[in-house]
Chains A and B, each alone.
Chain A
Amino acid sequence: MIKRFFLFFLIALLTTGCGDNPLNNPYPVGDASKNILYSSFSSRPKHLDPTSSYSSNEILFNMQVYEPPLQYHFLKRPYQLIPLAASEMPKVTFYDKNDQPLPKTTPADEIAYSLYTITISKGVKYQPHPAFAKNEQGHYLYHHLTENDLHDKFELSDFKQQGSRELVAADYVYQLKRLAHPKIHSPLLGMMTEIIVGLEDYAKQLKVVYQKQIDKNAKKVFFFDLSQHDFEGVTLLGRYRYQIKVKGKYPQFIYWLAMSFFAAMPKEAEQFFNQPGMNEKNLSLDWYPVGTGPYMMAENNPNRRMVLVKNPNFHGEKYPLQGEESDEKRGFLNDTGKSLPFIEKAIYVLEKESIPYWNKFLQGYYDASGVSSDSFDQAIKVSTDGHIGLSSEMKNKGMELNTAVKSSTYYFGFNMLDSVVGGYSDKQRKLRQAISIAIDYEEHVSIFSNGRGIAAQSPLPPGIFGYVEGEKGINSVVYDWVNGRPQRKSIDEAKKLLIASGYPNGVSEKTGKPLILHFDATGSGPEDKARLDWMRKQFKKLNIQLIIRSTTYNRFQEKMREGKIQMFTWGWNADYPDPENFLFLLYGGNSKTKFKGENASNYMSKEFDELFDKMKNMDNGDERLAIIQQCLDVLRKDAPWAWGYHPKSFALHHQWYFNGKPNLMANNTLKYKRIAPVVRQTLRHSWNQPNWFPVILVLGILMFSLIPAIMSYRKRELKSN
């Protein structure tokens, strides 16, 4: 029996590693030359329902399947919206409170509501899905299943019949209503109730109706048909046209139309998944998206891997014809006009740790990778003049590097409600300004991010309207313009400000006691300790004693909500490329402590708020730019943040991977990617030749070392006999 087992074991071992397939290849032999992209995910997506999904690891999948009306142009910068499912850009019309149309130039405060009319493309079809399957009589095959019918169904592929139908405007209307579904959690609902007319009341009304249906319905699971419940905020105008009613003027609404929250949802899908027994088998919209996009989810095993395959019903799209000036030179326009998508299948493998991912990437088993701190020195070479390039090892492998400053900001904030670092008096302002100079974020980026970031001049990162390059764009409170670049003011300048703030040499003029400040932080690992020590050192420059209060993230958030923190660091990733999405982080009405908003510093400046109110609804132009600059001037003077930095993304890819231009706004970029599988197979093979020699050597040494022991044993045996 044991002999037989070992025989099987040996055969299995040999068959898994035989032939041309390298022994360390983690994929099946037959896939080696296929047009498959390999990537990974580290934590399983919680929601793939477009109403609930918001995290980057969820959108990564969702946006390849669902198609909202708009999308970001893949190549053009600054970021530009173009139609996706829509046949043209939405038509926006303004109305006064008497429902009279207003001209486009009407000031925002005179506009009662805006209507967004969206026309979608004709002839677009959904991916094949059992929810659409019908019998010969035209009745849905799988809409009236019992738990017994589901006993052998564990995946969508277990439903033998599949169907499809044309995408219609009603699907977009249906999805918009789902934001208010009592059973579904949309992170956007709270915010959208302030934007879409009637959504708040609709959510309340649905809650009541839903509860009644629960009371009436004997079954715990039932289909709650939203098409029976209309509301003012969204109107179906025809088979391919619908309209959204937005409160006042809110130009940023158009950006939301490029997110999966506003994609189409066929009613049949909800009906199919909301049957008893479905959820118990993990068959739900949260796990199996249903869309019209270039890909569809073929396998969803978040315990192991997720697979997207080409949607056979995809309506077709062409690779962009134009891009930035440098795109042609960088090869991003080589596929111009070709049909999308290029890749047949994308396999995302569960990879919990970054080190194995990186090593597999180097072996050619992943096509692209970011650059983590662990792998930075191996991958990147920084020259003495600060130029960033690939290391010779990466160059030899034919890799390419793409970098871009992210539309994010990591900032150091002061709690403006605090009696010491907060407040709006000249002295308090100067204390914050002094600290802003002392915290050397250039050094921080260099030490802790290997130079992958730029020190912030304001909340606005590069690429966002309002960000100004050069001397005009610097924060003159913290920087001087020297030799064509911003230079942080000297620590002596900071000390002067500290004297003016009433703390000469870090000692209070009033009490004669040393100034002690508190900084709340969440990390407790070795890297965090180094970071916190560095922060202490920055304050030491001003002779200010910094006390670090380490806490859990939950407790940290609680303290932030209660306004019990003096100083903190936090970050923000843009929802959309508009300055409003950054400056609202400092708007008084968004104070975290007072109004549970996103203004973590609780900064409240009448001047800033007025400017913000004026700017937020304006179209981009010189006037808006001027107001943004005024906003930034107020902020720089008041210094509610010590500004922090904007991180840079570093993306590496192999020579067989094409069109890797980073697009930090678009999430549906898989369709543009192209690989050369034959090149990949050849290089994988040459890079991964097994090396048995050291193993044989070690085994030989071990065997050899046994000889004295055997001799000694024999001697002893002979002696005892």
Chain B
Amino acid sequence: MLSYILRRFLYAIPILIGVNLITFTLFFVVNTPDDMARMHLGMKHVKQENIDKWKQNHGYDRPLLFNSEVSGLEKFSQTIFFEKSLSLFLFRFGNSDSGRDIGYDIKQRMWPSFLIALPTLLIGLMINITLALILALFRSTYIDYWGVVICIILISISSMFYIIGGQYLFGKILHLVPISGYEDGWMAIKFTILPVLIGVFSGIGSGTRIYRTLFLEEIEKDYVRTARAKGLSETLVLYRHVLRNALIPILTGVVVVLPTLFMGSLVMEAFFSIPGLGSYTIQAINEQDFSIVRSMVFLGAFLYIIGLLLTDIAYTVVDPRIRLS
């Protein structure tokens, strides 16, 4: 197992280099260092000397990927790509293009994101599984039929509708929660109730449908038939046998997203003014802050790799037949 984990970590290095290279290429296809400088210096009265000075001070005055003016390995090391990427592998994110310490900002912002993502995931999971079990229990009845129809309707509605509708209904009309904002400590609960509620509600359609399918698949298996033949009630069959076996794909699906819970939601955080990592990333993209963008993409990729590794490990825990080698 240990050697497997070590090997997976080694595999991660070329993947992270690749992700970093793709981010770098995509970013600089759209924005040249000159564009970045202009964005930071503003549009008025900016002369080329100001742009050159900004580039020099921020390390964007070198060639992007290949430096033909030097020799040997320096052709690759004296480039923006190399200089900006190397420290990432040591998790030194450095300063943003506007001067703030990215590591500090990430540490500050990951908790609000987590505070919304974790309850959304857990509550959503409980509700979706419960609803899916009910539909499976009443399969081929009007409850199942209408349940699926409602799920499809819920899937078809845009998440923006849930957000704006939720803010309008619970914040503006009913005055039950603040429309947006965030505070530390216990006050945070007040601000996270609505985003969590909306996150859970918007995920019910898809979650319930998927889990229902998993349960129905499981219900058709031989061991379930045997359980029924033993004279067990349908409820016992579902909860004692079907649920336990269907949980394997559910659990492994959840484990993969656990590390990325810190990364936040791009739209939700923007609308609720939650100072999380999702809104941090979207703001950096808008402001053409490459230092933040590359750090967040790197972190996202790394956490996803960790998630996949945890999934593999989770498989061995929930299914003893699986061995990692």
Do A and B pair up? The answer is yes
Contact of B175 among A185, A352, A689, A720 (CB under 8 A): A689
Q: How far is the CB of B147 from chain A (nearest CB, A)?
A: 10
Inter-chain contacts of A596 with B (CB < 8 A): 47-48
- Residues of B in contact, count (CB < 8 Å): 68
B252 at the interface (CB under 8 A from A): no
Inter-chain contacts of B53 with A (CB < 8 A): 182, 185
Given A43-B283, A279-B99, A694-B174, A355-B50 contact (CB < 8 Å): no
- Stretch from A159-167, A533-541, A625-633, A711-719 at the B interface: A711-719
Q: How far is the CB of B285 from chain A (nearest CB, A)?
A: 12
Given A185-B53, A709-B138, A713-B137, A360-B180 contact (CB < 8 Å): yes
Inter-chain contacts of B109 with A (CB < 8 A): 303
Contact of A720 among B95, B234, B280 (CB under 8 A): B234
In whole angstroms, how far apart are the Cα atoms of A352 and B163 in the complex?
14
B143 at the interface (CB under 8 A from A): yes
B50 near A185 (CB under 8 angstroms)? Answer: yes
A352 near B45 (CB under 8 angstroms)? Answer: no
Contact of B31 among A15, A44, A554, A694 (CB under 8 A): A554
B residues 50-66 with Cβ under 8 Å of A?
A: 50, 53-54, 57
Closest to A351 in B: B273
Inter-chain contacts of B287 with A (CB < 8 A): 43, 46
Q: How far is the CB of A719 from chain B (nearest CB, A)?
A: 10
Inter-chain contacts of A16 with B (CB < 8 A): 186-187, 189-190
B45 near A717 (CB under 8 angstroms)? Answer: no
A312 at the interface (CB under 8 A from B): no
Tell me how many residue pairs across A and B have CB atoms closer than 8 Å. Answer: 176
B273 near A712 (CB under 8 angstroms)? Answer: no
B47 near A190 (CB under 8 angstroms)? Answer: yes
A286 at the interface (CB under 8 A from B): yes
Inter-chain contacts of A47 with B (CB < 8 A): 98
Contact of B233 among A287, A303, A720 (CB under 8 A): A720
B179 at the interface (CB under 8 A from A): yes
A721 near B233 (CB under 8 angstroms)? Answer: yes
Given A43-B287, A303-B275, A575-B234 contact (CB < 8 Å): no
In whole angstroms, how far apart are the Cα atoms of A15 and B188 in the complex?
12
A191 near B171 (CB under 8 angstroms)? Answer: no
A709 near B143 (CB under 8 angstroms)? Answer: yes
In whole angstroms, how far apart are the Cα atoms of A363 and B176 in the complex?
12
B residues 30-60 with Cβ under 8 Å of A?
A: 30-32, 35, 38, 40-42, 44-50, 53-54, 57
Contact of A25 among B48, B101, B141, B178 (CB under 8 A): B178
Inter-chain contacts of A303 with B (CB < 8 A): 105, 108-109, 275, 280
B181 near A349 (CB under 8 angstroms)? Answer: yes
A26 near B191 (CB under 8 angstroms)? Answer: yes
Closest to B98 in A: A46
A282 near B283 (CB under 8 angstroms)? Answer: no
Q: How far is the CB of B293 from chain A (nearest CB, A)?
A: 15
Inter-chain contacts of A549 with B (CB < 8 A): none
Q: A294-314 toward B: CB 8 Å interface, digit per residue (1/0)? A: 000000011110000000000
A24 near B176 (CB under 8 angstroms)? Answer: yes
Q: Is the interface of A mostly helix, strand, loop or mixed?
A: loop
A709 near B48 (CB under 8 angstroms)? Answer: no
Q: How far is the CB of B173 from chain A (nearest CB, A)?
A: 7
Inter-chain contacts of B172 with A (CB < 8 A): 359, 362-363
Q: A183-212 toward B: CB 8 Å interface, digit per residue (1/0)? A: 101111111000000000000000000000
B residues 132-180 with Cβ under 8 Å of A?
A: 134, 137-138, 141, 143, 164, 167-168, 171-180
A575 near B44 (CB under 8 angstroms)? Answer: yes
B248 at the interface (CB under 8 A from A): no
Closest to A194 in B: B47
Q: How far is the CB of B307 from chain A (nearest CB, A)?
A: 25
In whole angstroms, how far apart are the Cα atoms of A352 and B283 in the complex?
9
Closest to B232 in A: A720
In whole angstroms, how far apart are the Cα atoms of A79 and B191 in the complex?
43
Given A355-B167, A363-B179, A691-B174, A54-B42 contact (CB < 8 Å): yes
A557 at the interface (CB under 8 A from B): yes
Most A C-beta atoms less than 10 A away, residue of B45, B57, B187? B45
Q: How far is the CB of A556 from chain B (nearest CB, A)?
A: 11
Inter-chain contacts of B47 with A (CB < 8 A): 189-191, 596
Inter-chain contacts of A15 with B (CB < 8 A): 186
B279 at the interface (CB under 8 A from A): yes
B273 near A356 (CB under 8 angstroms)? Answer: yes
In whole angstroms, how far apart are the Cα atoms of A360 and B279 in the complex?
20
A22 at the interface (CB under 8 A from B): yes
Inter-chain contacts of A716 with B (CB < 8 A): 234
Given A43-B283, A554-B35, A692-B176 contact (CB < 8 Å): yes
B286 at the interface (CB under 8 A from A): yes
B residues 272-304 with Cβ under 8 Å of A?
A: 272-273, 275, 279-280, 283, 286-287
Inter-chain contacts of A447 with B (CB < 8 A): none
Inter-chain contacts of A9 with B (CB < 8 A): 189
Inter-chain contacts of A182 with B (CB < 8 A): 53
Inter-chain contacts of B280 with A (CB < 8 A): 303
B11 at the interface (CB under 8 A from A): no
B226 at the interface (CB under 8 A from A): no
B271 near A352 (CB under 8 angstroms)? Answer: yes
Given A190-B50, A349-B181, A596-B48, A12-B186 contact (CB < 8 Å): yes
Q: How far is the CB of B45 from chain A (nearest CB, A)?
A: 4
A336 at the interface (CB under 8 A from B): no
Q: How far is the CB of A194 from chain B (nearest CB, A)?
A: 10
A24 near B171 (CB under 8 angstroms)? Answer: yes
B182 at the interface (CB under 8 A from A): yes
B273 near A349 (CB under 8 angstroms)? Answer: yes
Inter-chain contacts of B99 with A (CB < 8 A): 46, 279, 282, 284, 286-287
A690 at the interface (CB under 8 A from B): yes
Given A185-B53, A303-B108, A596-B47, A22-B175 contact (CB < 8 Å): yes
A185 near B57 (CB under 8 angstroms)? Answer: yes
A552 at the interface (CB under 8 A from B): yes
B50 near A187 (CB under 8 angstroms)? Answer: yes
Given A185-B50, A359-B167, A713-B138, A352-B273 contact (CB < 8 Å): yes
Give me 20 other A-B pairs in contact (C-beta within 8 A), A350-B275, A356-B273 excluded.
Answer: A17-B190, A24-B176, A43-B283, A47-B98, A54-B44, A187-B41, A190-B46, A279-B95, A287-B99, A287-B100, A303-B108, A351-B180, A351-B273, A352-B283, A356-B272, A359-B167, A695-B174, A712-B138, A712-B141, A717-B233
Binding site for B on A (CB under 8 A): 9, 12-13, 15-17, 22-26, 28, 43-44, 46-47, 54-55, 182-183, 185-191, 279-282, 284, 286-287, 301-304, 349-353, 355-356, 359-360, 362-363, 365, 552, 554, 557, 575, 596, 598, 688-692, 694-695, 709, 712-713, 716-717, 720-721
| 11 A-B contact pairs sorted by A residue (CB < 8 Å) | A15-B186, A16-B189, A26-B179, A43-B283, A350-B275, A351-B273, A353-B270, A356-B167, A691-B175, A695-B174, A717-B233
Binding site for A on B (CB under 8 A): 30-32, 35, 38, 40-42, 44-50, 53-54, 57, 95, 98-101, 104-105, 108-109, 134, 137-138, 141, 143, 164, 167-168, 171-183, 186-187, 189-191, 193, 233-235, 269-273, 275, 279-280, 283, 286-287
